[in-house]
Chains A and B, each alone.
Chain A
Amino acid sequence: QSVLTQPPSVSGAPGQRVTISCTGSSSNIGAGYDVHWYQQVPGTAPRLLIYGDNNRPSGVPDRLSASKSGTSASLTITGLQADDEADYYCQSYDASLSGWVFGGGTKLTVL
């Protein structure tokens, strides 16, 4: 069981908006540690999407945004496209574990 909890799956039609949640605790997100998001297309390496709560590396479209509040964070994708179909992971740091932690991953299906 992952320290950060994500829904196993979400789905949406092309053009729609979807949100993926990431729920932690007082020893990670709630302690103020940054949350980062990755995309992984099956069979490929993870790709950084969002860092430092809501910063996008170059090349990541502004259709993707993230937010954080309390012990939770979320990734929002607007204007859903077919190539958004992938697995998405949140990541933070956990003070109790003294290490980096990932969410269990959310599979996004574009209907």
Chain B
Amino acid sequence: EVQLLESGGGSLQPGGSLRLSCTASGFPFRTYGMAWVRQAPGKGLEWVSVITGSGGMTFYADSVKGRFSISRDNSKNTLDLQMNTLRAEDTARYYCAKARGAGHYSNWFFDVWGRGALVSVSA
């Protein structure tokens, strides 16, 4: 069974740092791009970051560029999101998602999702 399990969520003050992890199982992890998508309380989905299967290419939403860093360890089937200089507006549930699609990464969609990790940033 294909599964994604996030960990590392928590509550912290603005300006702090947090590292989320996602452990994947049930599929050839290194073959697929992976993504983080977040959802603020009562709001819609927002793409945060994507990393290619090899880890050689990374992409970030403008709202997190320069503050967040995505990485993966294909030997451990894990995906990470290092979040620095956190702001109140980063408060959200962060979903790990498996990317899939033919050809160029611009065709990618997200076919498997974890349950999410809750991050709360407040003074």
How many chain-B residues does the 8 Å CB contact rule pick out? 26
Partner-binding segment picked from A14-22, A45-53, A61-69, A73-81: A45-53
**B108: interface (CB < 8 Å):** yes
B115 nearest CB neighbor, chain A only: A45
B59 touches A99 (CB 8 A): yes
* Interface membership of A23, Cβ < 8 A: no
> Which of A2, A89, A93, A104 has the most C-beta atoms of chain B within 10 angstroms of its own C-beta?
A93
Task: Specify which chain A residues have a CB less than 8 angstroms from the CB of B108 in the assembled complex.
Answer: 93, 100
B residues less than 8 Å from A44 (CB atoms): 115
Contacts of A101 in B (CB 8 A): 47
From B37, B44, B50, B109, contact of A51 by CB (8 A): B109
For B28-51 the 0/1 string (1 means CB < 8 A from A) is 000000010100000011110010
Q: Are B111 and A48 in contact (CB under 8 A)?
A: yes
* Number of chain A residues close to chain B: CB under 8 A: 28
User: Complex Cα distance A45/B96, Å?
Assistant: 10
Q: Which residues between 68 and 111 of chain A lie within 8 Å of chain B, taking CB atoms?
A: 87, 89, 91, 93, 95, 97-105
Tell me whether A105 and B44 are in contact in the complex, defined as CB-CB below 8 angstroms, given that A45-B116, A97-B62, A100-B35 are known contacts: yes
Chain B, range 96-123, C-beta contacts under 8 Å to A: 100-102, 106-116
> Is the Cβ of A91 less than 8 Å from the Cβ of B107?
no
Q: Which of A2, A33, A45 lies in contact with B106, CB distance below 8 A? A: A33
Chain A contacts to B: CB under 8 angstroms: 2, 33-34, 36, 38, 40, 44-48, 51-52, 57, 87, 89, 91, 93, 95, 97-105
Given A45-B113, A46-B37, 6 more pairs with CB closer than 8 A: A34-B107, A45-B116, A47-B113, A99-B47, A101-B47, A105-B45
25 A-B residue pairs with Cβ-Cβ distance under 8 Å, sorted by A, are A34-B101, A34-B109, A44-B115, A45-B115, A45-B116, A46-B45, A46-B95, A47-B113, A48-B109, A51-B111, A52-B101, A57-B111, A91-B45, A91-B47, A93-B106, A97-B61, A99-B60, A99-B62, A100-B35, A100-B50, A102-B37, A102-B44, A102-B45, A105-B44, A105-B45
Residues of B within 8 A of A (CB): 35, 37, 44-47, 50, 59-62, 95, 100-102, 106-116
